[in-house]
A and B are shown apart, each in its own frame.
Chain A
Amino acid sequence: MAANARLKSFSMRDFFDRERNLGIMLFMAYPFFLGIWLSLTDSMIGRAGQFIGLRNFVDLLTDTIFHQTAKNTFIYALVTVPFKAMLGLGLALILNRHMRFSSPVRAAVMMPWIVPTALSSLGWFMIFDPVFSPISWLFRNMGLISKNINFLGDPILAISSVCWANIWRGVPFFGITILAGLQSVPQELHEAAAIDGASVWHRFRHVTIPSIKGVVLIASLLSIIWTFADFQLIYILTKGGPANETHIFGTYTYQIGLQATEIGMGAAISLYMFPILAVFAILLLIYLRKEQ
């Protein structure tokens, strides 16, 4: 009890003073408020702007490229999630089995997730190349196509290709997270169900699925938040092209804010992400609370 009381009365200021953690918060918060301020001005890079109220935000509502950007971002972040989750679940179920060389296999399947995305995207950049694509070569040699596929040059193919690369990168994350969930299922539960005569499918449906539901939901929300705000994969594969058909918020912000130097407008584009990210972050928080 005495120790407990001391635990409570101990002031942490000795080694972790408020100023320091305030400092960290400020380093995040200051750019955020600066971003809000910039978005309310017509600033250009190197020229401080005038306060123009919400005009940037209003102008974006009638910008067709911005519409396309918003649509792409939803496809890129949301439509890919079920694919990542299903493929990840399959991967986790396989990794959960007893097998030889399980450590190297786990390390190998993690590669798409841990290797620098900018560099692995270069691999995809060549795989999707109009001249050097091995996929085109394969299909051509099988007689399926007569001309190389222009993966990144056609609007529909381009968004599909970047989504494909995005799914490829996300599957290991889902796989390893779901695997962690699977391993926390008590083995007795499976055994008890088996003794009671539950079939493999029933055990999967009523023991495995309920116990990993939470993990899958958390992984999905995290994945949505990260992919929603992605940049590098699209920047390297298409730079938002062809004809702005694959822009997402990150790349469009970069193009307007830095390349076209309209930093005020760029800040407005990125701030449109904020309420959407906030919704997903709140959902995640609510769910994490419930899990605890």
Chain B
Amino acid sequence: MVGSDVFRAKFFSLYLPLTLYLVFLLFPFYWMLIVSFKPTNDLFDMKFSPFWIQQFTLENYLYLFQNTDFITWLKNTLIVSIVSTILSLVCSIFIGYALARLRFPGSNFLGLGIFLAYLVPPTLLFLPLAQVISELGLNNTYWALILTYPTQLIPFASWLLMGYFRTIPKEIEESAMADGCSRIQILFRMVLPLSVPGLLSAGIFCFTLCWNEFLYALIFMSSGSMKTIPVGTVSDLIKADTLFWGALMASAVLGSFPIAFIYSFFVKHYVSGLTAGAVKG
């Protein structure tokens, strides 16, 4: 009897609200997933419940691979995301370490500047940036995104890494320095190996931000063969009269999957990274 009371208390205080939250937060993904596995005709059949699959099909995914440029979008997204992430991480390691450890003229100002740059939204700058990119002739090249994404990523990653570097005891570095290590050696041989979780979260963050970015990619990569997954899906699969709902949802599912996959493995680092950098920074 006692056991069932405990269960009932736990049911109402934990499992029931948790279930409601899960339904609220996951329903759109469930919807996208089932629509992507339905034949188009089933969508129009209002007799059946739309919340379940009557007839399972992969035709939407086949359509996506055979009749659209999805593979090209995937390739573009990967190239841009990986290069921007690596570039931003390398810069951010130096900036974050300098902010965490070094006192130099203007270091406070630089810290403030980095933080403010993190808050500057793309919508504030995209018109002038569009003009710069087109004057440099970079429209529809990878460079357009590889050069602009780090302006968003570096402030953020530096901030996060700074928080991480500060958690490493200074004394270790001081004694290494007394033993004759240079700053660079300390950074690469001691600080970085100790900061692997921080680097991992910064890297995942950067990669995710690149993968998810929409506005710059929409403006700078308008040509068919240079689109990223979000832009390609939105601009090529939504056509005025005929909506390929199945293919649209299939593309959204495939485009979301890598990010969802990465996060389900690194959710712990995500939380600790957030505490180390963003919140307590």
Interface of B, secondary structure class, is: helix
Number of A-B contacts (CB under 8 A): 243
Cβ-defined contact, A263 with B131, below 8 A: yes
Question: Is A226 in the interface zone, CB < 8 Å from B?
Answer: yes
Q: A109 vs B271: C-alpha distance in the bound complex, in angstroms?
A: 13
Closest residue on chain A to residue B17 by CB atoms: A94
Cβ-defined contact, A249 with B256, below 8 A: no
User: Which of B112, B126, B130, B230 is close to A119, meaning CB atoms less than 8 Å apart?
Assistant: B230
What's the nearest-Cβ distance from chain A to residue B169, in Å? 13
Cβ-defined contact, A132 with B128, below 8 A: no
Q: A158 vs B122: C-alpha distance in the bound complex, in angstroms?
A: 24
Cβ-defined contact, A114 with B208, below 8 A: yes
Q: A266 vs B126: C-alpha distance in the bound complex, in angstroms?
A: 10
User: Which of A2, A120, A253 is close to B123, meaning CB atoms less than 8 Å apart?
Assistant: A253
Cβ-defined contact, A30 with B132, below 8 A: yes
What's the nearest-Cβ distance from chain A to residue B44, in Å? 8
User: Which of A21, A90, A110, A228 is close to B270, meaning CB atoms less than 8 Å apart?
Assistant: A110
What's the nearest-Cβ distance from chain B to residue A219, in Å? 8
Within 8 A of A (CB), among B18-68: 18, 21-22, 24-26, 28-29, 31-32, 35, 43, 46, 49-51
Residue numbers in B under 8 Å from A194 (CB-CB): none
Question: Is A62 in the interface zone, CB < 8 Å from B?
Answer: no
Question: Is B198 in the interface zone, CB < 8 Å from A?
Answer: no
Residue numbers in A under 8 Å from B143 (CB-CB): none
Cβ-defined contact, B177 with A7, below 8 A: yes
Residue numbers in A under 8 Å from B112 (CB-CB): 285
Within 8 A of A (CB), among B139-182: 147, 151, 154, 174-175, 177-178
Question: Is B196 in the interface zone, CB < 8 Å from A?
Answer: no
Question: Is B239 in the interface zone, CB < 8 Å from A?
Answer: no
What's the nearest-Cβ distance from chain A to residue B23, in Å? 11
Residue numbers in A under 8 Å from B132 (CB-CB): 30-31, 34
Q: A218 vs B268: C-alpha distance in the bound complex, in angstroms?
A: 21
Within 8 A of A (CB), among B44-103: 46, 49-51, 91, 94-95, 98, 101-103
Interface readout for A1-31 with B: 1 if CB under 8 Å, 0 if not? 0111011101110111000110011011011
Interface on A for B, CB 8 Å cutoff? 2-4, 6-8, 10-12, 14-16, 20-21, 24-25, 27-28, 30-32, 34-35, 38, 90-91, 94, 97, 99, 103-112, 114-120, 122-124, 126-127, 132, 134, 137, 168, 171-172, 176-177, 179-181, 183-184, 215, 218, 225-226, 228-232, 235-236, 249-250, 253-254, 257-258, 263, 266-267, 270-271, 273-274, 277, 281, 284-285, 288
